[in-house]
Amino acid sequence: MVLQKKPAGAVVWGYGEAGANVTVSLSKDSKVIMKKMAQVEEHSGTWKVVLAPMNHGGPYSVMAEQHSREEPKNLTLRDIYFGDVWLCSGQSNMEMTVSQIINASKELSEAPLYPYVRVFTASLIQSEVELQDLAKIDLEWSIPTAENLGHGNFSYFSAVCWLFGRHLYETLQYPIGLVESSWGGTCIEAWSSGRALQECGLTGDARRFLLPTLLSGPKMPSVLWNAMIHPLLNMTLTGVIWYQGEANTFVNTDLYNCTFPALIADWRRAFHAGSEGQTQPLFPFGFVQLSTFRRQDQDDRFPRIRWHQTADYGYAPNKRMPNTFMAVAVDLCDEHSPYGSIHPRDKQNVAYRLHLGARAVAYGEKGLVFQGPYPTKVVVDGARGLINVTYGQELLLLLMHDRIFEVCCSDRPQLSAQEPCQWVPAPMVSASSHAVTLSSPGCRAAVTRLRYAWAEWPCEYRQCPLYNKHLLPAPPFVIDSALRTGWANC
């Protein structure tokens, strides 16, 4: 396995006879270099020690010895390295294995080249009460092989998790531990503790909801937090990556701007406490903004979730989601995926974009561009019917697009209280290094709102109009003239 390296101390814990003393020894080359003592707690039957912070490397052995009235017992774990440990969670796009993605055979054949990236997968278990330990494990700590990276569809091991960890290893050149705990067809409420749900008004009877039957995963709140996250809280982690949200296009869609930040904050508090303060209280949390799902109806539930994934800022990190990073995936559509278009097979670009965010946010790499271009100023020239959108990065324009930008006009009738806009296309007419000029022929009065890529399927594969020179796509956004600084009408 991989245990967390310094500056944190790795937590080691286990079971024993109530009241017994336990000695934990860390050894290298048969030489004991550290000993820690613990006592088995009466009420839980568990013991826990925090190892002194260790440099990356190995291999080490850890031996736990129980001293009690009964015959002494001991257990030794071998081939242990110190490095960085990341937890990977979410629903089926996190669950997809390496055998399901593009270039799978090449990726699987290269697995043995990374023996210091260790992988572990929790089984699909749900519980109505918080569990202290995983009830079952699909893949115990392992060295990567073609078998355990491509065991079966939506089984072990996560392609996004693996490729993310592999990128980190190539950058950092020290061991990486990857823990997968994910379940397809699950909503964020199932992964949230009762505390987190209460923060968003999902309390009492309102919280005991059943999700739509079309979702394949567990349909009760907190059951995956209880069974697949709570048992991991003792672990010392570097951070978490998350790929989830598709299920919430069907339930509590417009609560996601609360439930997602609440989950992040709650997981941070819980892992910090569970690891005796070793996991950082504001540990880095990366996530994938939803890709695409082609359906016949033209509702905007997918773009709404994408927006709510950023707590309605459009980018990460932000004030409500500090120390987070986001991989935009709206341009990675896959209409012919054998697993359905909701499961795009290009997980390589997803993981690459995620690892850029980790390098910048988690590892503090200065000057690294990890986000696509985002607007800093909108100027509406009503007299000429033009809108100039200025971006904070140099733009790479792949193509002109007639419908990917849309405006809401003040003279258009309201559709409903929930949707006060009748949106009309604002075709792109020109572009410069940092700005795009749009036409707003549908507006006879003031433009009140502007949005970009606000559709389930806004563009074709890697063919959205706007990227930066690092080929990172501009994320979707919606800007309200009444709220947005940098908006001007002239």
Residues 409, 447: contact at Cβ < 8 Å? Answer: yes
pLDDT tens column, 205-234: 444 555 555 567 888 999 999 999 999 999
Residues with Cβ < 8 Å from 414, sequence gap 6 or more?
420, 421, 422
Among residues 381, 382, 358, which one has the least CA distance to residue 368? 358
Residues 253, 245: contact at Cβ < 8 Å? Answer: no
pLDDT tens column, 312-323: 999 999 999 999
Encode 281-304: b = buried (16+ Cβ within 10 Å), e = exposed. Answer: eebbbbbbbbbbbeeeeeebbbbb
DSSP states of 417-435: SS----EEE--EEEE-SSE
What is the average per-residue pLDDT within 293-298?
70
Q: Would the pTM of this model clear 0.85, i.e. be above it?
A: yes
82-362 CATH, one of 3.30.1490.20, 3.40.50.1110, 3.40.47.10, 3.40.630.10: 3.40.50.1110
Residues 52, 25: contact at Cβ < 8 Å? Answer: no
pLDDT-derived band at 296 (thresholds 50, 70, 90) equals low
Average pLDDT across the chain, whole number: 92
Fold of the CATH domain 2-80: Immunoglobulin-like (2.60.40)
Percent of the chain surpassing pLDDT 70 = 93
What pLDDT score was predicted for residue 481? 77
The residue written with tokens 């790929």 in the block is: 243
What is the average per-residue pLDDT within 119-124?
98
Domain ranges of the chain: 2-80, 82-362, 375-489
What pLDDT score was predicted for residue 440? 85
What pLDDT score was predicted for residue 311? 97
What is the average per-residue pLDDT within 378-382?
88
